[in-house]
Structure 1
Amino acid sequence: MRVIINWKDFLKALAIAQSLTHSIQTMKESGILPKWIDEQTSNTSQCLLPPSSDITDGIEPLNIEDLAGPFLTLAAGLIFSSLIFIFEHAASWSKNENETLL
């Protein structure tokens, strides 16, 4: 795909870009932009800590209660896929039997 930009559109885009650059520079110099950035990233000291730093009792091994959800999801998936498998074979068996009768 070929994009054709004429000179008039280029100059218009350039003027908008220069206007935005000037506005951003004004916000940086007035201190508004750094203030906004500080407000949005106020808890970076807490977020940048390693995940194990908030564990006070140490790391505990997983037990069966912790893994009950994944095991139940696995069992439900196996049951559902088995039912679909049986249904597909019953449907193909029924189709093959109908073809042999004709």
Structure 2
Amino acid sequence: MPAPCKYPGELRERAVREVRTSGRPLAHVARDLGIHKEALRNWVRQADAGERDDRPTTAEAEELRQLPKEVPELRRANEVLKAASVFFAHGIDRPRTRPSR
């Protein structure tokens, strides 16, 4: 059997609304309402879970973790391509001569 809710749903909604609208620090709002600050922090996170567009999605977060791993590989590939372009540019600049008979 789950533990009973320590705070009523009305208080949760009011606290989350006040954090969003007041611009005051979360800890100050929690203290004023007599709520533990970590409880309020969890309520705000739960309320924000489906509403915030400024946080990356799970797929975007995974892509952001992979990008730093790809950078060294891309830099190496870039160096190889630079070296190849220099090599082939030297071949284009040379005048062609016919072999002597």
Q: TM-score, with normalisation over the residues of structure 1?
A: 0.31
Rg larger in 1 or in 2?
Answer: 1
Please state which structure has a larger fraction of its residues in helix: 1
Which structure is richer in relative contact order (CA contacts within 8 A, separation 6 or more)? 2
Q: TM-score, with normalisation over the residues of structure 2?
A: 0.31
